[in-house]
Amino acid sequence: MTGSRSIVRSLALAAVAVLGGSVLSTGTAHAQPLTLLQCQGTETVTYNPGIIFETRDVDMTVNGRFSSCIDGAGEVTSGSYGNQLTISISCNDLLDGFQGQRTFTWNTGDTSVIEGKGSTTAVAGQIVTVVTGKVIQGRFQGRSALEVIPLPQPGLLQCLTTGFTNATGATTLTIT
């Protein structure tokens, strides 16, 4: 996702928990059925220099890979996303809300741009980010999206010394 530094902060500390979902379709016989896309994978975030208690500019790289996707049409089987940017951040401000866009590239060669809002909480030693939004461009345009991203929470010792330099966790994306 691109946008304000809050977007970057929150996404940097996200990794996705596995989500289940079902889609109910109501309407006339002429209505197009909803397509469900469910993807699972891994997100890795690196910070240089590491995040410490003092706010400073940090180069951040986010790489996400969906190794397993189930598409209602049977076409999308994998995907990826990535960002590289510089943010001003510290261990004290990792839980800010955000909004922005993220582009997903699918194994089919096409993309989906999702505009979303997110919130981040600390739960049991993890920073968990939940992003909800809509696909505003490309494949699945007009559909709703949900991404959940939990990453390990920085430890006190890391924040006091060399800094929190990387995190890896599961990621799940659901489009209905």
The Cα–Cα gap between 145 and 131 comes to: 8
The pLDDT, as a whole number, for residue 35 is: 57
The pLDDT, as a whole number, for residue 83 is: 86
CA proximity to 155, closest of 51, 8, 43, 45? 51
Q: Which residue has the higher pLDDT, 125 or 55?
A: 55
State the pTM of this model.
0.75
CA proximity to 46, closest of 83, 1, 98? 83
Q: Which residue has the higher pLDDT, 111 or 96?
A: 111
- Straight-line distance from the first to the last Cα atom of the chain, in angstroms, rounded to the nearest whole number: 20
The pLDDT, as a whole number, for residue 148 is: 95
**For residue 118, what pLDDT band results from cuts at 50, 70 and 90?**
confident
The Cα–Cα gap between 98 and 117 comes to: 6
The Cα–Cα gap between 129 and 118 comes to: 7
The continuous run of DSSP H or E covering 8 comes out as: helix 5-12
